[in-house]
Structure formats: C-alpha cells, structure tokens
Amino acid sequence: MIFVNLPVRDLKAAMRFYTALGFVNEPRFTDETGACMVWSEAIFVMLLTHEKWGIFTSRPIPDSAASEVMLALSLESREAVVAMADTAGQNGGTADINPAQDHGFMMSRSFADLDGHLWEPFWMDPSFASGEAEIPVAG
C-alpha cells in the first residue's frame, strides 16, 4: 500500500476535487484535519490541513508554483487519461500544466490540483507494459 500525504489549504474543497476525479472518501480515516481519499486497494491519498501537516514535519510547505513531486497514475485507456485531466480542469485544477505527451505506445497528460500538487495520468499499451512488445527507439 502507498499513502500519498498532501498538504491542502481547504480540506472540503480538496475532497470535492478528488471525489470529482473518481477517488472515494474513507470516512474511518477522515476528520476535520484530514481526509483519506482512496484510488485503489493499494493507493490512498491523505489530504491534510496545513496544521495537521505540521505535526508530521517541520519542513515548509512549498509554494503552489513549486514542483516537489509529480504523481503518475496508470489508467486503463487513453480516454480515461483525457477524462481525468479534463475533469481536473473543470473542477478548479489546472489541466495540462505540462505539455501532453504521446509516444504511440504510451501517452500522458498532467494537471495541478487546487494546491498545486502535480499529477500525471498516463496510459501504456499493455503489450509494452508486460514486455511482450519492444519499446520503439527514437532515432
């Protein structure tokens, strides 16, 4: 399991944003200082108020224009990638914060959430992901 912890300015707004993207709230791990948003059996995003974040680290929260990490999320189709990035933009995030990429066997888009955290939904052809097919070499 992986728990991605993200500091957020407005917990309720962040919960609405992630719900719009398809995450599901886990109420057992949610209160007024943090919310657990579930993507899959293995991936959980903990949205933490700045005050709650400060309990875990004294390091400063980067400005929303900074890039501390980009979280890549594998999706089942090209259409799902497009839908997630578009939905992020329609719900207060910034779609295509980085240029979209299409390499034929793999494509991605990106978005920033309400607090500037970068996400990169991507799709990879299953034959390349499994190693059945060779990845084309640019040349």
Tracing tokens 């910034």 back to the chain, one arrives at: 94
- Alpha-carbon span 26 to 44, nearest angstrom: 9
- Alpha-carbon span 11 to 9, nearest angstrom: 6
> What's the CATH superfamily of 62-139?
2,3-Dihydroxybiphenyl 1,2-Dioxygenase, domain 1 (3.10.180.10)
pLDDT of residue 92: 97
Q: Give the largest Cα separation in the chain, rounded.
A: 53
pLDDT of residue 65: 80
What's at 22, amino acid-wise? G
Q: What is the pLDDT along the chain (139 residues), one digit of tens a residue?
A: 999 999 999 999 999 999 999 999 999 999 999 999 999 999 999 999 999 999 999 999 988 888 778 999 999 999 999 999 999 999 999 999 999 999 989 999 999 999 999 999 999 988 776 777 676 666 5
pLDDT of residue 139: 53
Q: Is residue 99 classed exposed, middle or buried when 0-12, 13-18 and 19+ CB atoms within 10 A define those classes?
A: exposed
> What's the CATH superfamily of 1-57?
2,3-Dihydroxybiphenyl 1,2-Dioxygenase, domain 1 (3.10.180.10)
pLDDT of residue 54: 95
Residue-range domain boundaries for the chain: 1-57, 62-139
Please give the structure tokens belonging to residue 21.
Answer: 């993207």
- Alpha-carbon span 16 to 80, nearest angstrom: 19
Please give the structure tokens belonging to residue 29.
Answer: 């791990």
pLDDT of residue 91: 98
pLDDT of residue 68: 79
pLDDT of residue 135: 66
- Alpha-carbon span 15 to 62, nearest angstrom: 20
pLDDT of residue 137: 65
Find the DSSP H helices in the chain: 11-20, 50-56, 78-90, 126-129
